[in-house]
Amino acid sequence: MIRDAETLRALYGPPSERAAKKVIDRLDRHCLDFLAASPFMLLATTDGLRVDVSPKGDAPGFVQADGERAVLIPDWPGNSRIDGLMNVLAHPRVGAIFMIPNVRETLRINGPAEIHDDEALRARFETRGRLPITVLRVETEEVFTHCSKAMMRSHLWRPETWPTERPVAGLYDIIKDHAAMPVPEMTEAEMLESFERQLY
């Protein structure tokens, strides 16, 4: 087991000059274009002890730039666990990865976050006549792209490698087993229909 930075760095060697210099602290035109085209992101938060990663998704551009130094992430109704938001209150530094289907690179933003509930800010994200419950504002202390190697290894955007049938149990069966409690009988189609009604 590796327990010190010196041993770990010796294994990997120093980062390339390009990798070290690619980090910026603002949203330039490339970042703005990436955000405008991205329908999916992963948000990492921590309370200082426990780490949480939450998926967020909507129509491309659902995360908006707030000038060149921050992004705004709407938070819609879900299961009300709000693990990530509770983490932000305890430890307001987050990391975000943005993805675009069929684009092998990803965009990463790290920085401090604040939770806002004022109506004017929420109204920027009005969808189907409804507003998000809160909006997370993340400052862009670090912004950079990740290269395509992870996507190349995983073949994530190569449809010919995708399974033709679902390789894991349905969500209903997973929830029933994990919760270890009675849950209403529901088919996968019925569950998805229920989710569709509760998206906003």
Q: Do 185 and 131 sit in the same domain of this protein?
A: no
In a domain, 2, yes or no: no
In a domain, 193, yes or no: yes
Q: Do 167 and 142 sit in the same domain of this protein?
A: no
pLDDT the model gives residue 43: 98
CATH number of the domain that residue 127 is part of: 2.30.110.10
The answer to whether residue 145 scores a pLDDT higher than 90 is: yes
Q: Do 149 and 184 sit in the same domain of this protein?
A: no
Residue 181 pLDDT class (50, 70, 90 cuts): confident
In a domain, 44, yes or no: yes
Residue 39 pLDDT class (50, 70, 90 cuts): very high
In a domain, 6, yes or no: no
Q: Lowest mean pLDDT: which of 13-22, 73-82, 101-110, 179-188?
A: 179-188
Q: Do 87 and 178 sit in the same domain of this protein?
A: no
pLDDT the model gives residue 88: 98
In a domain, 150, yes or no: yes
Q: Do 116 and 183 sit in the same domain of this protein?
A: no
Q: What is the mean pLDDT of residues 128-140?
A: 97
The answer to whether residue 50 scores a pLDDT higher than 90 is: yes
CA distance to 12, 39, 161, 162, 165, per residue, from 158 (Å): 29, 18, 6, 7, 16
Q: Do 70 and 167 sit in the same domain of this protein?
A: no
Q: Do 139 and 185 sit in the same domain of this protein?
A: no
What's the mean pLDDT when you consider all of the chain?
Answer: 95
CA distance to 16, 103, 151, 155, per residue, from 163 (Å): 36, 20, 16, 12
In a domain, 191, yes or no: yes
| Beta bridge partners of residue 52, listed in sequence order | 45
Q: What is the mean pLDDT of residues 146-174?
A: 94
Q: Do 167 and 144 sit in the same domain of this protein?
A: no
E strand or H helix that includes residue 194: helix 188-197
In a domain, 174, yes or no: yes
The answer to whether residue 185 scores a pLDDT higher than 90 is: no
Q: What is the mean pLDDT of residues 36-63?
A: 97
Q: What is the mean pLDDT of residues 65-77?
A: 97
The total domain count for the chain is: 2
E strand or H helix that includes residue 138: strand 134-139
Q: How many C-beta neighbours within 10 Å does residue 64 have?
A: 16
Query: For residues 197 and 141, which has the higher predicted lDDT (pLDDT)?
Result: 141
pLDDT the model gives residue 180: 84
Q: Which of 108, 106, 113, 60 is nearest to 88 (CA)?
A: 113
Q: Lowest mean pLDDT: which of 14-18, 71-75, 143-147, 179-183?
A: 179-183
Residue 68 pLDDT class (50, 70, 90 cuts): very high
pLDDT the model gives residue 187: 84
Ramachandran angles phi, psi of 21, nearest 5°: -95, -5
Q: Which of 33, 38, 31 is nearest to 55 (CA)?
A: 38
Compute the distance between CA of residue 27 and CA of residue 33 in angstroms, rounded to an integer.
10
pLDDT the model gives residue 126: 97
Residue 192 pLDDT class (50, 70, 90 cuts): confident
In a domain, 5, yes or no: no
Domain hosting 54: range is 11-154
Q: Do 183 and 96 sit in the same domain of this protein?
A: no
Q: Do 185 and 127 sit in the same domain of this protein?
A: no
Q: Do 129 and 52 sit in the same domain of this protein?
A: yes
Q: Do 26 and 123 sit in the same domain of this protein?
A: yes
pLDDT the model gives residue 95: 98
